[in-house]
């Protein structure tokens, strides 16, 4: 017997890829299905019929409401659920079927929850609670060409479309709208409006929706279609704030962020503050302003709107980000804390289901805004301010709310390393936390790990273990990550390229070379032919290259060869594009055969054929960029001898041959400083300074290092010299100001030690300490994470680093 409780109504066009998932998820409801097809050219109609759906055919007239309304009078069920083909049931269908018969007759509409996925992560979703369930034959229809709006027309509510739309726009009725904001603002969810003022309970049904993933949007012209329809609506209703808002959303999808701001601002100016979509409008405008780095505007907007919407976690979270970017860390922390106090769902503020009305606003919100995202942001700030234990507690609290949240795992490992916890203890702590969250068996016995069979783990548990591995690697505990990968997490798939990099960074060069050769290297049928530099320069396109390897993977493969004393094999060059193949051959020869001209002239050894000093290689800018990235990758993996030799020799043959030794050394020191080798870089920069050739960036790096060592006078002098060379150097200006504040505080403290009873000094000290806390929040210093912090105390010369036992010693020794 057909179920007369719930009917599914949809409009579709060319949805054969999405429709089966949607309908399969609804099978157990035994509902009647009306599917209105608006002109599919694929198998969508036939596919719908195989599920027992009644297929209605209608021509597409650029009007979503008109298409929606076709099937509504045909319903024979008590309730109607309107869906899109790219939506599907996650949970709650059985509960819904139990709840619907008991809903009080005075309630004619229900909300559901939709999880709008905008990224690949479990946490990458926006939650909305639109009205999608309503009683059939109770006067409900849709209106609007785009972002169609549900309204109820009865004997007490008769109006033309124009009057109806005007009533919708000007009333304080509910509006559900949603934008999914990614880095490129390429996705947004359509908007729904309800005319009746009715407190709709939240039904237990939860849907998933992935039609607005960036990859999905890129395949079609949905945004361009939406823009055309919205512009038609604005032509009929000029300056309508609701349509202006949707115009801004569509501009975001198309990447026109400046135009989106204009539309959002005009909408905000015209929208009544009671308009239910207004809170989401504020959210979207703030996110676009942050994306455009217009922090002052975002600050002014959110300082007022967070007071108007005190329970909207997303606004507090965005406000915290804005304050943090402005250096106001203490205020940012309070904003994040405020977000964490907001309820995570409507159920936290009122009862739902079974006819019990919910009494809170249904904000469109990013998953975790009031929990794991807020706690992770608080933890990051606590860590920056030196409150390590508090940071660890907050990171763990975030993971208790979502164990698969990658930023919290990364932050936790980093915070533990910053506190001086050993790599072994970090690994143990992460494992025990994973055990507590997912009941993963923990053992520190490596032999037991290797011999014990691994149980079948669920998807989330595997994600947790994978995040643990990357967290260990991210904090520089590469050996522990590799041990875990060989034992407790041996069933977790980690790409070969990542494993290779971890091995290089852990000094396991032979293992790295074996892995690269077994995974990517083909059997070399003949020895790698050595060609002269001139033939390398003029060589044309050889065989077609396999470009499946990423740039960093090719760099790491080459470093594994060189660090183990091997030349690049022919199988390597088969994986390199013809455009950059010459660069790799040159780099290989530079490390193994290059002799400076002066050395060759005075030596009994015959000079190796090479590009004469002063002759440049005419590489394209992309190829030169690859060469520079190769040097940076060598530094990142700790192979400094190779890095320095490549830097010095490549610079000589691909840039100005007149560049001095001091310039080359200074540029290399900047790279070292960036990757945390601050003491080695400082030694090189001091040498450059004594030779009178230190630019603003070099002065800043040296000044920053001296500041971290507490040498304020010297740091201030260097920062001021940097400003003399580069007056708009904002980081140097902030650093100099902080030096002045630190020195002034030091003088006041000295004076108070001599005259502790002078009240004015105490007041001045308090005022300066407050100013210093604010100033220290300004992001002027180089940001170092655990991997870079480990390098701070590396040897004060490249030779010391080589002698410390790194695997690139063979190349260093061979150069004599």
494, 519, 540 — which closes off a domain? 494
Say if CB 665 and CB 695 are below 8 A apart.
Answer: no
Q: Answer whether residue 195 is part of any domain.
A: yes
At residue 3, the pLDDT reads 65
At residue 440, the pLDDT reads 55
Take residue 647 and report the two structure tokens written for it: 């830097």
Task: Give the max Cα distance, the chain.
Answer: 107
Say if residue 163 is in the same domain as residue 309: yes
Our count of domains for the chain comes to: 2
Say if residue 257 is in the same domain as residue 146: yes
Question: Which structural domain, as residue segments, surrounds residue 442?
Answer: 391-494
Picking from 415, 423, 421, the residue whose alpha carbon sits closest to that of residue 392 is: 415
Burial class (CB in 10 A: 0-12, 13-18, 19+), 499: buried
Q: Answer whether residue 802 is part of any domain.
A: no
Say if residue 363 is in the same domain as residue 401: no
More confident residue, 541 or 594: 594
Dihedral class, residue 609 (left if φ above 0, else alpha if ψ from -120 to 50, else beta): beta
Q: Answer whether residue 640 is part of any domain.
A: no
Say if residue 333 is in the same domain as residue 468: no
At residue 224, the pLDDT reads 86
Q: Answer whether residue 247 is part of any domain.
A: yes
Take residue 626 and report the two structure tokens written for it: 């690859």
**Residue 521 CB contacts under 8 Å (≥ 6 apart), including other chains:** 569, 571, 572
Q: Answer whether residue 70 is part of any domain.
A: no
d(CA 449, CA 437): 20
Q: Answer whether residue 338 is part of any domain.
A: yes
Say if residue 420 is in the same domain as residue 274: no
Task: Tell me how far the alpha carbon of residue 424 is from its chain's centroid.
Answer: 28
Take residue 91 and report the two structure tokens written for it: 């949970």
Q: Answer whether residue 330 is part of any domain.
A: yes
Question: Residue 606: is its pLDDT beyond 60?
Answer: no
Q: What is the CATH number of the domain that holds 93?
A: 1.25.40.10
Lowest mean per-residue pLDDT among 378-382, 448-452, 469-473, 583-587: 448-452
Say if residue 416 is in the same domain as residue 321: no
Say if residue 217 is in the same domain as residue 365: yes
| Residue carrying the six token digits 């505990």 | 477
Say if residue 457 is in the same domain as residue 330: no
**Element of type H or E holding 110:** strand 109-117
Say if residue 417 is in the same domain as residue 452: yes
479, 494, 509 — which closes off a domain? 494
**Segment 360-413, tens digit of pLDDT:** 468 999 999 999 999 999 999 999 989 999 999 999 999 999 999 999 999 999
Query: Percent helix, strand and coil across the chain, each rounded to 5?
Result: 55, 10, 35
At residue 215, the pLDDT reads 66
**Segment 618-663, tens digit of pLDDT:** 678 888 889 999 999 999 999 999 999 999 888 877 766 667 788 8
Picking from 796, 779, 501, 581, the residue whose alpha carbon sits closest to that of residue 669 is: 796
Say if residue 161 is in the same domain as residue 294: yes
Q: What is the mean pLDDT of the chain?
A: 82
Say if residue 153 is in the same domain as residue 235: yes
Say if CB 11 and CB 36 are below 8 A apart.
Answer: yes
Helices (H), 692-758: 696-708, 712-725, 730-754
**Segment 267-320, tens digit of pLDDT:** 999 999 888 889 999 999 999 999 999 999 999 999 999 999 999 999 999 999
437, 465, 494 — which closes off a domain? 494
Q: How confident is the model at residue 350 (pLDDT cuts 50, 70, 90)?
A: very low
**Segment 716-764, tens digit of pLDDT:** 999 999 999 999 999 999 999 999 999 999 888 888 887 766 678 888 8
Give the pLDDT mean for 248-263.
93
Query: Any idea what DSSP says for residue 758?
Result: -
More confident residue, 213 or 811: 213
Burial class (CB in 10 A: 0-12, 13-18, 19+), 19: buried
Q: Answer whether residue 487 is part of any domain.
A: yes
Give the whole-number percent of the chain exceeding pLDDT 90. 57
d(CA 146, CA 223): 11
**Residue 538 CB contacts under 8 Å (≥ 6 apart), including other chains:** none
Say if residue 344 is in the same domain as residue 461: no
């Amino acid at each position: 017997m057909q179920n007369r409780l719930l009917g599914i109504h949809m409009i579709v066009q060319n949805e054969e890829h999405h429709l089966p998932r949607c309908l399969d998820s609804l099978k157990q409801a035994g509902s009647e299905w009306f599917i209105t097809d608006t002109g599919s050219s694929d198998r969508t109609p036939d596919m719908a019929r195989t599920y027992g759906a009644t297929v209605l055919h209608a021509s597409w007239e650029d009007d979503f409401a008109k298409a929606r309304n076709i099937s509504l009078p045909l319903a024979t069920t008590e309730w109607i659920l309107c869906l899109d083909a790219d939506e599907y049931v996650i949970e709650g269908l059985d509960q819904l079927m139990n709840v619907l018969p008991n809903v009080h007759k005075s309630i004619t509409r229900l909300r559901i929850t939709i999880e709008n996925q905008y990224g690949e992560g479990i946490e990458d979703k926006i939650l909305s609670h639109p009205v999608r369930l309503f009683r059939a034959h109770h006067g409900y229809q849709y209106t609007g060409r785009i972002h169609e709006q549900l309204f109820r027309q009865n004997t007490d509510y008769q109006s033309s479309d124009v009057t109806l739309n005007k009533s919708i726009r000007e009333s304080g009725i509910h509006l559900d709208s949603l934008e999914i904001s990614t880095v490129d603002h390429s996705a947004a969810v359509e908007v729904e409006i309800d005319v009746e003022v009715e407190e709709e309970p939240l039904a237990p049904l939860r849907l998933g929706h992935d039609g607005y993933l960036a990859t999905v949007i890129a395949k079609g012209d949905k945004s361009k279609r939406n823009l055309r329809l919205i512009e038609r609506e604005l032509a009929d209703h000029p300056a309508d704030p609701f349509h202006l808002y949707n115009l801004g959303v569509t501009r975001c999808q198309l990447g026109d962020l400046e135009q989106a701001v204009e539309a959002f601002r005009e909408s905000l100016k015209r929208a009544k503050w009671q308009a239910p979509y207004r809170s989401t409008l504020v959210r979207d405008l703030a996110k676009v302003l942050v994306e455009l780095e217009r922090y002052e505007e975002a600050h002014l907007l959110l300082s007022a709107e967070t007071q108007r919407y005190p329970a909207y976690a997303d606004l507090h979270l965005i406000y915290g980000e804005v304050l943090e970017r402005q250096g106001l860390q203490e205020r940012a922390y309070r904003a994040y804390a405020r977000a964490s106090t907001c309820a995570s769902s409507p159920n936290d503020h009122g009862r739902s289901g079974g006819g019990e009305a919910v009494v809170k606003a249904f904000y469109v919100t990013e998953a975790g805004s009031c929990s794991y995202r807020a706690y992770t942001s608080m933890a990051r700030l606590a860590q920056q301010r030196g409150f390590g234990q508090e940071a660890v507690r907050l990171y763990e609290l975030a993971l208790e709310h979502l164990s698969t949240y990658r930023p919290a795992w990364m932050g936790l490992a980093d915070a533990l390393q910053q506190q001086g916890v050993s790599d072994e203890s970090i690994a143990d702590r992460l494992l025990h936390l994973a055990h507590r969250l997912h009941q993963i068996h923990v053992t520190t016995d490596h032999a037991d790990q290797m011999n014990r069979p691994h149980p079948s783990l669920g998807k989330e548990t595997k994600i947790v273990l994978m995040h643990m591995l990357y967290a260990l690697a991210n904090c520089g505990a590469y050996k522990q990550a590799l041990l875990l990968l060989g034992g407790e997490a041996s069933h977790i798939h980690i790409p070969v390229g990542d494993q290779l990099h971890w091995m290089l960074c852990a000094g396991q060069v032979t293992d790295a070379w074996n892995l690269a050769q077994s995974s990517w290297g083909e059997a070399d049928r003949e020895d790698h032919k050595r060609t002269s530099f001139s033939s390398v320069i003029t060589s044309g396109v050889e065989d077609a290259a396999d470009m499946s390897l990423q740039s960093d993977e090719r760099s790491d493969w080459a470093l594994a060869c060189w660090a183990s004393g091997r030349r690049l094999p022919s199988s390597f060059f088969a994986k390199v594009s013809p455009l950059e193949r010459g660069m790799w051959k040159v780099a290989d020869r530079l490390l193994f055969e290059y002799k400076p001209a002066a050395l060759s002239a005075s030596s009994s050894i015959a000079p190796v054929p090479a590009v004469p000093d002063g002759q440049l290689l005419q590489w394209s800018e992309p190829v030169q960029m690859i060469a520079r990235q190769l040097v940076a990758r060598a530094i990142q993996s700790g192979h400094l001898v190779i890095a320095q030799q490549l830097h010095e020799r490549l610079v000589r043959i691909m840039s100005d041959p007149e560049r001095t030794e001091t310039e080359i050394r200074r540029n290399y020191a900047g790279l070292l400083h960036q990757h945390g080798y601050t003491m080695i870089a400082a030694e090189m920069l001091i040498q450059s300074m004594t030779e009178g050739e230190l630019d603003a960036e070099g002065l800043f790096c040296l000044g920053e290092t001296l500041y971290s060592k507490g040498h304020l006078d010297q740091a201030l002098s260097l920062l001021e010299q940097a400003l003399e060379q580069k007056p708009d150097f904002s980081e140097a200006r902030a650093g100099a100001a902080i030096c002045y504040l630190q020195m002034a505080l030091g003088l006041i403290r000295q004076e108070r030690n001599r005259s502790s009873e002078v009240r004015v000094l105490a007041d001045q000290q308090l005022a300066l300490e407050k100013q210093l806390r604010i100033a220290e929040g300004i992001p002027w210093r180089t940001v170092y994470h655990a991997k870079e912090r480990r390098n701070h105390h590396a040897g004060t010369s490249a030779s010391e680093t080589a002698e410390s036992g790194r695997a690139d010693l063979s190349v260093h020794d061979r150069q004599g």
